[in-house]
Amino acid sequence: MGDRGRRLEFLIFGSPAIGEEEIAEVVATLRSGWLGTGPRVQRFEEDFRVYVGCGHAVALNSCTAGLHLALEVLGIGPGDEVITSPLTFSATANVIVHVGATPVFADVDPRTMNLDPEALARAVTPRTKAILPVHLAGRPCDMDALLQVARRHGVAVVEDAAHAVEARYRGRSVGSIGDLTAFSFYVTKNLVTGEGGMLTTDNAAWAEEIRIKALHGISRDAWKRYSAEGFQPYDTLFPGYKYNMTDLQAALGIHQLARLESNLAIRERHWRQYDAALADHPLLTTPSPVDPRDRHARHLYTVLVDTERAGMSRNEFMVRLKAENIGTGIHFTPLHLHSYYAKTLGFRRGQFPAAEFIGDRTVSLPLSAKLTDEDVEDVITAVRRVLEA
C-alpha cells in the first residue's frame, strides 16, 4: 500500500501463475523441433483424462471449439433448440447459432447463479435437442436435477465447464457426468495454456469424430504422418476445422495440471480471506456456500453490489476500484440483453429477472494462485474504502 493506503501498482485481474517448469517445457518444445500437435499434446490429453476420470479427452484450441464440435457430433442443426443459461460468455450461445440451431435461455437460480432446473423444465419443447448448462464461477450445477430433465425428454447434456476444471459434483469430477464437457485453458483460467481447451466424453465414436474434425477432417494428424514411423498418406473424412492444440500450448498445460490441486488450495485460502472480511458487509452479497457434497473450483469470487443503497452503479464501483489500482471483471451481462440476441431473437429485459438482477450488480474480484495474501488484503481495503466513501 502507498502512504494513503492506496495500492501503488495496478493489480491485474486474472493474471496467471506460471512456474519455471512451464517455461523449461516450452523451451524444450522449441528445441525439439516439434511445435504443432504432437507428443506433448498426447501426454496432456492422457494426464487430463486420468485427472477427470473420463473415457476420452481431446485437446483443442479453445473451449469454444469444444462446444461447437460437441453440438456437431450430436447432429444438432437447423430447426433444433439448445437450452442454456443467459448468464454466461457469448461463446456458449454463439456455438448454437454456428450449427444453425436456436439458443433458448432459461433463468438461473439466484443463489447459485447456475441454470435453474425448474426454469429449464419449462423451457423444453419438442424441438429441444440438448441442454447446455454452465458451471458459473466454478460452482457445479445441480447435475442430478438437470440430467433428470434431459433423460425424461431424451436430450443430450453438453456441459460448459470453462470455469470448472477442479469442480466435483457428488464426488464425481465435472467432465465425467454429462454426455460431453468442454473446458477452457484461456489465460485467466485456473489451468492456463494461453489459448486452449479440452473436450471430454465417454463415447469413443464421438471422441474419434471430434479428433478428426478438429484437424481439417483428415484421417491422420501431422504427428502420425511425419513421425519416425514413416510418412503415411491421409484421407479427408469430413470438412473439418483448424481446432487443434499445439505442443507449445500443451507444454504449459502438462505442468499447470500437475499443480492444479496446490493452486486450488491457494485460491481456497484467498476465498476464505474474502469471506471473512466481506461476508457481513451491508452493501455486498458474497458467494453462497457450496453444497458440502460438492467441490467449487474457486475460479471467480463474485460479489453483488447493493447499487441502490451504495448510491452508485456497478460500473461506477468498478471505476472507483480501478482508481485504487484494483482490476475487476464482470461475469456476466446476460446474453439476452446483448444486441445480436435481443435483435435477432426478440429478447427483452424482464424475461429472465434473476439473471438480470445478478448481471446488473455482479463484480468479480481478483482471485489467482499468483496473488499473495497482501494482494488480497489490498483488494479488501479498496473495496471497503470505495463503499464507505
> Does a structural domain hold residue 108?
yes
> Does a structural domain hold residue 162?
yes
CB atoms within 10 A of CB 306: 15
> What residues contact 243, with CB distance under 8 A and at least 6 apart?
60, 61, 62, 65, 68, 69, 213, 214, 215
> Does a structural domain hold residue 63?
yes
Which domain CATH number covers 362? Answer: 3.90.1150.10
Taking only the tens place, the pLDDT of each residue in 228-271 is: 555 567 888 999 999 999 999 999 999 999 999 999 999 999 99
Q: How many domains does the chain have?
A: 2
Examine the fold and report which residue of 228, 258, 288 is the final residue of a domain before the chain moves on. Answer: 258
Question: What's the whole-model pTM score?
Answer: 0.95
Asked if 224 is an active-site residue, the reply is no
Examine the fold and report which residue of 202, 234, 258 is the final residue of a domain before the chain moves on. Answer: 258
How far is Cα 133 from Cα 87, in angstroms, rounded to an integer? 10
CB atoms within 10 A of CB 55: 14
How far from 102 is each of 35, 87, 106, 356, CA to CA, in Å? 38, 17, 13, 21
Which domain CATH number covers 83? Answer: 3.40.640.10
Q: Are residues 343 and 220 in the same domain?
A: no
CB atoms within 10 A of CB 188: 17
Per-position b or e across 260-289, b if 16+ CB within 10 A of its CB? beebbebbeebbebbeebbeebebbbbbee
Q: Are residues 238 and 280 in the same domain?
A: no
What average pLDDT does this structure show over 312-316? 98
* pLDDT the model gives residue 234: 81
CB atoms within 10 A of CB 341: 20
Q: Are residues 269 and 248 in the same domain?
A: no
How far from 142 is each of 55, 63, 115, 122, 282, CA to CA, in Å? 22, 21, 8, 16, 29
What average pLDDT does this structure show over 125-129? 98
Q: Are residues 216 and 121 in the same domain?
A: yes
> Does a structural domain hold residue 6?
no
How far is Cα 230 from Cα 96, in angstroms, rounded to an integer? 40
> Does a structural domain hold residue 282?
yes
pLDDT band at 1 (very low <50, low <70, confident <90, very high): very low
> Does a structural domain hold residue 372?
yes
What average pLDDT does this structure show over 282-305? 98
* pLDDT the model gives residue 3: 41
> What residues contact 384, with CB distance under 8 A and at least 6 apart?
277, 281
Q: Are residues 292 and 323 in the same domain?
A: yes
Q: Are residues 233 and 186 in the same domain?
A: yes
Which range of residues forms the domain containing residue 361? 260-388
Stated as kind and residue range, the H or E segment containing 181 is strand 180-184
Examine the fold and report which residue of 243, 258, 273 is the final residue of a domain before the chain moves on. Answer: 258
Q: Are residues 206 and 154 in the same domain?
A: yes
Q: Are residues 60 and 183 in the same domain?
A: yes
pLDDT at 331 exceeding the cut of 60? yes
How far from 302 is each of 50, 54, 126, CA to CA, in Å? 30, 30, 36
pLDDT at 62 exceeding the cut of 70? yes
- Alpha helices for the chain (secondary structure H): 20-32, 39-52, 63-73, 90-98, 117-123, 143-153, 204-213, 222-226, 247-258, 260-278, 307-310, 314-323, 339-345, 353-361, 373-388
The torsion angles phi and psi of 93, rounded to 5 degrees, stand at -85, -30
Helices (H) and strands (E) in the chain, counts: 15, 12
| Torsion sign across C-alpha atoms 234, 237, 238, 243 | negative
Q: Which three cell numbers stand for residue 262?
A: 496446490
The torsion angles phi and psi of 154, rounded to 5 degrees, stand at 65, 40
Mean residue pLDDT across the chain: 95
Taking only the tens place, the pLDDT of each residue in 197-235 is: 999 999 999 999 999 999 999 886 655 555 555 556 788
Q: Are residues 273 and 362 in the same domain?
A: yes
| Cell numbers 451504495: residue | 310
Q: Are residues 155 and 283 in the same domain?
A: no
Taking only the tens place, the pLDDT of each residue in 17-40 is: 999 999 999 999 999 988 999 999
> Does a structural domain hold residue 4?
no
How far is Cα 42 from Cα 238, in angstroms, rounded to an integer? 22
> Does a structural domain hold residue 8?
no
Catalytic residue (one of 129, 189, 242, 370): 189
Q: Are residues 168 and 239 in the same domain?
A: yes
Q: Are residues 301 and 269 in the same domain?
A: yes
